[in-house]
Structure 1
Amino acid sequence: MQIRDFEVEITGAQIADLRDRLARTRWPEPETVDDWTQGIPLSYTRELCEYWANEYDMQRLAARLNAFPQFHATIGGLGIHFLHVRSPHEKARPLIMTHGWPGSVVEFLDVIGPLTDPEAHGGSAADAFHVVIPALPGFGFSDKPSRTGTGIERIASTWHELMGHLGYPRYYAQGGDWGSAVTTAMAVRAPNGLLGVHLNVALVSPEALHQLGEPTEQEQEMLARAQRFWAEENGYSAEQATRPQTIGYPLADSPVGQLAWVVEKFYAWTDCDGHPEKAVSRDNLLDNVMMYWLTNSAASSARMYWENAQYLNAEPARPVRIPTAYTQFPEEIFAFSERWLRTRFSDLRYYHAAARGGHFAAFEQPEIFAREVRTGIASLVA
């Protein structure tokens, strides 16, 4: 394994090109409804893009990332960008956290402090973690795989190897979205040294619930929520799982297209009360969009869906036997009762329904998320 120091650099040429493309946007006509049912509204998209071009600090993302120790590792031919922040407390527990789509490592920046130095954020030294935050292959500043075969199983194995190389033979893992799939795959494999996992998204078979008997009223609503998602929200996934290269062309060429493709999901999947900026600030939204735009990673990140389409079909049937903690955020895409989760996660030691938050929990509610990680993983300690 080769590891080198890494810093983000945003050049003047990149900024000038972005502003030029934003200025030359050919806009479509407005939607014919007065809500988001046809997608992100034209008026809001123009407002957000005008702010991006004229008011947003184009060096903000670099400054935020470069405030933390960053590295680039080559592991089995994969080039992985990651943040590695050690706690001042030597007995801190090692923790690897994984993002998903359309997120990035930026999601976790505001929870690094509370997790690594809890005493400075109302916690105790016993709550401390050494934190490792990698970018998925094809995302952000990680390399783009040049051939097929970079699926969830390979990433899970790569993360385990990375943690060992960093000097963490015993560690915990956390994830949501694709990060949950990676973390769960690690849990299924249960490699020596993985002590337990915390998830804020899970995949569990609906058939397993029916085997428990008649679903409760709450569980019936959970099933209905999943059905609504597949019927009304799954278009992006179908496109990325079948034609990631095709969707890559317009998103690589148009910053407005890239922004709209990402920000729409922050409306649909967050606890935002009708507006994405009630859940995630405007600058944070743009930091996340910049992760895709600067690295030209629309196609390579979409390819994650193509690589893993069959994996996700088989995923809910694979049992997880290692210690697991789970937090149900109220506006998460999928919801599960505790007994439903136990049909797959047989050693579920922590289940809690958080008061606020959605799919991008660390981004939306960093204080709640950090507390859930602390409490959840504390429950896994033997």
Structure 2
Amino acid sequence: MNIRPFKIAVSEEQLNDLLARLKLTRVPRSLDAESWDDGASLAFMERLISHWRLGFDWRAQEDRLNSFPQFIARVGELDVHFVHEKGKGPAPMPLVLTHGWPGSFAEMQEIIPLLSDPAAHGGDASDAFDVVVPSLPGFGFSQAPQHRGVSSKRVAEMWSELMTGLGYDRFGAQGGDIGAGVSMWLGRLYPKQMVGLHLNYIPGGFLPPLGDGSPPITAEEEAFRTRAASWFATEGAYSAQQSTKPLTLAYALSDSPVGLAAWIAEKFRTWSDCNGEVERVFTLDQLLTDISIYWFSGNVASTLRIYKENRSEPLKFNERERVEPAFGMALFPAELPTPPRSWVERVFDVKRWTPMPKGGHFAAMEQPQLLAEEIRAFFRPLR
């Protein structure tokens, strides 16, 4: 496998172009500047835009991200960007962490050292991991797909190739959002390679065997289906757009940094455990680092399109199909609608299912210590 070192180096031309666009921003009218009822709050967005123009230091964030060892590997037909942080311990376990949308590899900044060097953060060195954090194809600094078909299933195939190319015959997988789907596909496609799967989200497209001889739906499972349908009716417009007509949306988000910021920031507020106040959980710099990675990549269309690919290739299982690797779940209270354990046990070998005390969809950013401790606990007996 062709692997080369990588450092983020956004050009001055890109930075100047961004600032010029921000200066010419035309914001919409709002019936209530403080309200989020109709989408991203005008008052919040004006504050975010001002900070992006006048207070945000991309170069400082770039240096912070570049403190991690980063590489580009040729995986299949694409160049894949990844962080590879070797563990400090007697026998570090290889672990691939996969982000989702609207996140990025930058989500993992806080949790990487907790997993790679637990002894330096109050843990046990025997729990250390060799941590690999790839950027999904077309996200961040990974090359965008040039053809259809790059779904979460295809990404799982690529991650298997990447980890094998790094010398790891067996490894664990962890993820949320799209990263959860990639991890589940890894367990399904490569059971002999996988030590175990740990998630902090169950993808909405996950469909275990239902009907045709499968056990009947329980009351708890039916309540989940009702809850999920209600959530999608009020909060799922983004997914419907991205999974049907992503390119139409991409014209706006590729041309307007503020449009992109509004589209992303609203999700960080809605999906996090912030009680409606996004800055209680994320700083403006954290939000803008993630948003800037999307902007500077120039690949907004591909970050949206994976929703359409996953709609074409859902994570649907056949009657009596089982996935062998051990499965663990950290259930954060502000997470999107999550199926009950019995729903997942129809397919997966659930060894650990842990309700968490606080946190939401972006667990690695919101509660890195809690998530790291749970990941360590899940994989400890599998080493």
TM range (shorter): over 0.9
1:10 — aligned with what?
10
Aligned to 1:110: 110
The match for 2:344 is 341
Deviation at 1:248, TM superposition (A): 1.0
Q: Does 1:81 align with 2:84?
A: no
Aligned partner letter, 1:124: D
* Contact kept? 2:107, 2:364, Cα under 8 Å: yes
Write the distance in 1 (CA, Å) between the matches of 2:230 and 2:98.
Answer: 26
Query: What's the CA shift for 1:228?
Result: 2.4
- Post-superposition offset of 1:225: 3.3
Give the match for residue 332 of structure 2.
329
Q: TM-score, normalised by structure 2?
A: 0.93
State whether residues 89 and 128 of structure 2, in contact with CA within 8 Å, keep that contact through their aligned partners in structure 1: yes
TM-superposition CA deviations, 1:79-122 (whole Å, max 9, x none): 10000000122401110010000000011110011100001111
Gaps of 5+ in 2: none
Residue 332 of structure 1, CA deviation = 0.9
Relative distance call for 1:140 and 1:282 in structure 2 (3 A) is same
Q: Which amino acid in structure 2 is aligned with residue 324 of structure 1?
A: F
Q: State the Cα RMSD in Å.
A: 2.0
Match of 1:46 in 2: 46
- Cα distance change of structure 1 residues 354 and 32 upon mapping to structure 2, 3 Å threshold: same
Alignment-derived partner of residue 199 in structure 2: 199
Identify if the C-alpha distance between structure 1 residues 269 and 319 changes in structure 2 by more than 3 Å, giving closer, same or farther. farther
Q: Return the alpha-carbon distance in structure 2 between the equivalents of residues 40 and 130 of structure 1.
A: 38
In structure 2, the partner of 1:144 is: 144
Equivalent AA in structure 2 for residue 146 of structure 1: Q
1:265 aligned to 2:267? yes
The number of residues matched between the two structures is: 378
Against the structure 1 CA distance between its residues 110 and 16, is the aligned structure 2 distance closer, same or farther, given a 3 Å change threshold?
A: same
Bigger drift between 125-134 and 226-235 goes to 226-235
Q: Does the 8 Å contact 1:205/1:316 carry over to 2?
A: no
More displaced 10-residue stretch of structure 1: 365-374 or 128-137: 365-374
Query: Given that residues 252 and 293 in structure 1 are in contact (C-alpha distance below 8 angstroms), is that contact kept between their aligned partners in structure 2?
Result: yes
Pairing partner for 2:235 from 226, 229, 233: 233
- 1:240 to partner: Cα distance: 1.1
C-alpha contact (below 8 Å) 1:61/1:290 kept by paired residues: no
Alignment-derived partner of residue 362 in structure 2: 360
- Aligned 8 A contact 1:151 1:307 in 2: yes
Tell me the distance in 2 between the aligned counterparts of 1:112 and 1:65: 12
The aligned amino acid for 1:54 is L
Q: Which amino acid in the other structure matches residue 241 of structure 2?
A: E
- Deviation of residue 10 (structure 1)? 2.1
Instruction: Return the offset for 1:340.
Output: 2.8
Q: State the 1:71 CA deviation.
A: 0.2
Offset at 1:62? 1.2
Q: Match for 2:102: what amino acid?
A: P
Give the structure 2 partner of residue 215 of structure 1: 219
In the TM superposition, 1:48-67 aligns within 5 A as 48-67=48-67
Letter in 1 for 2:359: G
Counterpart Cα distance in 2 of 1:173 and 1:94: 9
Q: Partner amino acid for 1:215?
A: A
- 1:291 paired with 2:293, answer yes
Share of identical aligned residues, percent? 39
User: Conserved in 2, the CA contact under 8 Å of 1:225 and 1:333?
Assistant: no
How far, CA to CA, are the matches of 1:148 and 1:224 in structure 2?
A: 32
1:315–1:202 CA distance, 2 compared to 1 (3 A): farther
State the shift of 1:328 in Å. 0.7
Please tell me the residue identity of whatever aligns with 2:330: T
How far, CA to CA, are the matches of 1:377 and 1:6 in structure 2? 30
Relative to structure 1, the CA distance from residue 164 to residue 198 in structure 2 (aligned partners, 3 Å threshold; closer, same or farther) is: same
CA distance in 2, matches of 1:344, 1:131: 27
CA deviation after TM superposition for structure 1 residue 157, in Å: 1.0
Q: CA deviation at 1:305?
A: 1.0
